[in-house]
Amino acid sequence: MGEGLWDAPVAPGAVEATVRVPGSKSVTNRALVLAALAEGPGTVRRALRSRDADLMVSALTALGATFTPVGEGTADSVDWRVEPAAAITGNTSVDTGLAGTVMRFVPPVAALADGDVSFDGDPHARKRPMGALLGALRALGADVEGDALPFVVHGSGGLPGGDVTIDASASSQLVSGLLLSAARFDKGVTVRHEGPPVPSAPHLAMTIAMLRDAGVEADDSRPDVWHVAPGPVAARDLTVEPDLSNAAPFLAAALVTGGSVTIPDWPESTTQPGDALRGLLSEMGGSVELTPRGLTVTGTGTISGIDADLHEVGELTPSIAALAALADSPSRLRGIAHLRGHETDRLAALAAEINRLGGRARETEDGLEIDPRGLRGGEWRSYADHRMATAGAIVGLAVPGVKVQDIATTGKTLPEFPAMWAAMLEGSR
């Protein structure tokens, strides 16, 4: 479909569907890094196949790890057998694309390489916050040329590590990137955050939990301080959970259409931020039920406005904003100033696209105020941002004539999104 316009389908009735979403990008890319740093081979099962995950595999392959698919896999899922490199290799380059996990998680790995590793990515990636991470690597003993993409890590075969203080208020990935490789640093690492609150705390909890599962001593018991001790990363087999944040547009469809959508294999306990959908969609008028079958959300056809602090779950903002634009009362989304530094400036983008279709959305210092009114059809720009594209699809369920620009950008985390969306709507009644 390229960068053309995709006619967002209007729901013909109340959706009744079961939608199986592929594996979590956040878990997949953390698991791939840990597998590449482990003391022996391991398997990452049901790993996501998407642009971001493929970029991670390519980056770690460039640094010497070997990834072999096991079994047939699917268009969006693969079992990887990972053979770590005996020594991380340099004299190579890494394409980060627009993947925050690649641009933040791989440079600390590259600092352990035995030669130069150059990094670059998509044009907008050059605008994403990197200075705090690269400065931290220098403080830990790395030789880094540059403060944003493109940059070069001059690897020397190891990294002293130790204590470092950073401002990670732009992204929790700045901390996670240091922690994931820290067991391979000579002294491990202690990261201290100074500045406004770190967003997306569940992602940091995910990093710590996955390190511990890999046998690494990781401590997050003190506020804004994270410690990882030096030592081996255990080789292990891991099965990736479904990506709960990617379930957001499908569950939102239940509210928009007054139907019911079930996501199978929803975990009872998880560190994924997407689990917050249970509470958010309930507040917006949905009935939410978690059973052994999965998570089922049922709507009434009426959507309630919401006043919500989304600081910890910012990635859900585009879907919640799309619902807010279709609600029967105003919404205020708070605590998400950091979204201005995501794949695009998501606050400006959401306000522009809602207003373009006749809605009323206003940026605030730390979020959005959305006062719903009748929307009309028109172009919804995606800004090469997968979550902006799916937000346009949500709006299009209720508003005839919405045309989403570059729906193919959903391939970043949901390679089969248009087909999945069409299949969901086939069950409308």
Tokens found for residue 222: 């003190």
pLDDT recorded at residue 412: 86
For residue 189, which amino acid is it? V
Q: The tokens of 43 are what?
A: 């398997």
List Cβ neighbours of 65 (8 Å cut-off, separation of 6 or more): 35, 36, 82, 83, 84, 85
Pairing status of strand 143-145 against strand 151-154: antiparallel
Q: State CA 140 to chain mean position distance.
A: 27
Q: Tell me the per-residue pLDDT of 3-18, one tens digit each, with 9 for 90 and over.
A: 689 999 999 999 999 9
Predicted confidence at residue 1, as pLDDT, reads 39
Residue 344: what pLDDT?
83
Residue type, 314: G
324 touches 370 (CB < 8 A): yes
Cis peptide before 150 (omega within 30 of 0): yes
Closest CA to 153 of 96, 115, 191: 115
Cα–Cα distances in angstroms (integers) from residue 388 to residues 188, 320, 333, 409, in the given order? 38, 11, 16, 9
Phi, psi of 380 (to 5 degrees): -115, 110
Q: What is the pLDDT of residues 242-252, one digit of tens each?
A: 999 999 999 99
The DSSP annotation for 219-260 comes to E--STTEEEE---PPPP-EEEPPB-TGGGHHHHHHHHHHT-E
Tell me what pLDDT residue 93 has: 98
Residues labelled catalytic: 315
Residue showing tokens 């605590």: 335
- For 119-132, letters b (16+ CB in 10 Å) and e give bbbbebbeebbbeb
| Contact in structure between 44 and 82 (CB atoms under 8 Å) | yes
Query: String of b and e for 165-183 (b: at least 16 CB within 10 Å)?
Result: bbbbbbbbbbbbbbbbbbb
Q: Burial of 5 by CB count in 10 Å (0-12 exposed, 13-18 middle, 19+ buried)?
A: middle
What pLDDT score was predicted for residue 332? Answer: 98
Distances (CA, A) of 390 to 300, 321, 332, 405: 21, 11, 20, 11
Q: Which pLDDT value is given to residue 129?
A: 85
Q: Residue 426 burial by CB count (10 A; 0-12/13-18/19+): exposed, middle or buried?
A: exposed
Give pairs for 134-143: CB < 8 Å, separation 24+: 134/107, 135/166, 136/164, 136/166, 136/174, 136/178, 136/191, 137/107, 137/108, 137/111, 137/178, 139/164, 140/111, 140/164, 140/178, 140/185, 140/189, 142/111
If one counts every other C-beta atom within 10 angstroms of the C-beta of residue 115, the result is: 15
pLDDT along the chain (429 residues), means of 10: 82 96 95 98 95 96 97 90 95 95 97 97 90 97 96 97 96 96 98 94 95 98 98 96 96 98 95 96 98 96 96 95 98 95 89 97 97 94 95 98 96 91 87
Q: Domains of the chain by range and CATH?
A: 5-21+244-425 (3.65.10.10), 25-228 (3.65.10.10)
Alpha carbon 12 to chain centroid, angstroms: 31
